[in-house]
Amino acid sequence: MILFCMGASVNKVVVLARGLGKRMRQDDGGSALRSDQQRQAETGVKALVPFDRPFLDYVLTVAADAGFERVCLVIGPEHDEIRKYYTEVEAQRLQFEFAVQTDPRGTADAVLAAQDFVGDDDFMVINSDNHYPLEALQSMRALDGPGLPCFERDALIEMSNIPAERITGFAVVEVSAEGDMLRVHEKPDPELLARLPRPLGVSMNCWRLSGDHIFAACHAIEPSVRDELELPTAVQYAIDTLGIRFRAVPLQAPVLDLTSRTDIDQVGERLKGLSVQL
């Protein structure tokens, strides 16, 4: 039996900012960065890479524009820089809280760190190194239950700053004829891709979830081959075992990705002229 998890208006966002930034810390020797960008890249804390403002300020401005009000930043115990910045930053639209993920044990483990913040409420999960379009977050707020935006892969390749070879390795969402998520396929092989219906939808780790089921799912799953607790695995458990329905909302829109130093120039060009209002 498939259940639809009804939820009240959602105003909480959990931002995954615990990553180690290994690729950002790697100096490719070919990226001509400003001295302040160079220093920040060396720390691996991608969220604070400076443009006119730190990158995460632009990400959170979109969340505020979409109507979200409460933000929980999931950080590591060593991330005093993020905590200090968002404790002191001037903000009229957003309230900030923090949760500490002691060890980098995967995205589901990061979500578990925010359990006290979320409670049983519906909430959004986003990455700190992705700038999502407003329509993606608005579409998630408009749902009356869990879901994710499915970014059309060809549109991502055409419209985003992300190299095509990187996008082709992203997780692909299998969707039912009714528009429900069936499964997220990590690193799909060519045979699987060939049989999936077009257009292909890509998951960019942007989710609307509900505390009344996702924490139980995160606790129930086993670590992946990378010895991490993965959020897509917890979502799959919620679908298959708990009977939760996840809506897949198709979108033709870009996502800015700040993974490595080679992304900084292109992301900076895309952010020019955008205002920040937290």
How far apart, in whole angstroms, are the C-alpha atoms of residue 163 and residue 180? Answer: 28
Contact yes or no for 105/37 (Cβ under 8 A): no
> 30 pLDDT exceeds 80?
no
Ordered domains of the chain (ranges, CATH): 12-271 (3.90.550.10)
Task: Give the 3-state secondary structure of the chain.
Answer: CCECCCCCCCCEEEEECCCCCHHHHCCCCCCCCCHHHHHHHHHCCHHHCECCCEHHHHHHHHHHHCCCCEEEEEECCCCHHHHHHHHHCCCCCCEEEEEECCCCCCHHHHHHHCHHHHCCCEEEEEECCEECCHHHHHHHHHCCCCEEEEEEHHHHHHHCCCCHHHHCCCCEEEECCCCEEEEEECCCCHHHHHHCCCCCEECCCCEEEEHHHHHHHHHHCCCCCCCCCCHHHHHHHHHHCCCECCEEEEECCCCEECCCHHHHHHHHHHHCCCCCCC
pLDDT mean across residues, the chain = 91
pLDDT score of 188:
83
Contact yes or no for 201/214 (Cβ under 8 A): no
Q: Is the peptide bond before 199 cis (omega within 30 degrees of 0)?
A: yes
Contact yes or no for 40/50 (Cβ under 8 A): yes
Q: Which amino acid is at 94?
A: L
Q: Binning pLDDT at 50, 70 and 90, where does residue 18 land?
A: confident
pTM: 0.93
Q: 151: which strand partners?
A: 202, 251
- For residue range 60-119, list pLDDT tens digits in order: 999 999 999 999 999 999 888 999 999 999 999 999 999 999 998 999 999 999 999 999
Q: Binning pLDDT at 50, 70 and 90, where does residue 2 land?
A: very low
Q: Binning pLDDT at 50, 70 and 90, where does residue 9 land?
A: confident
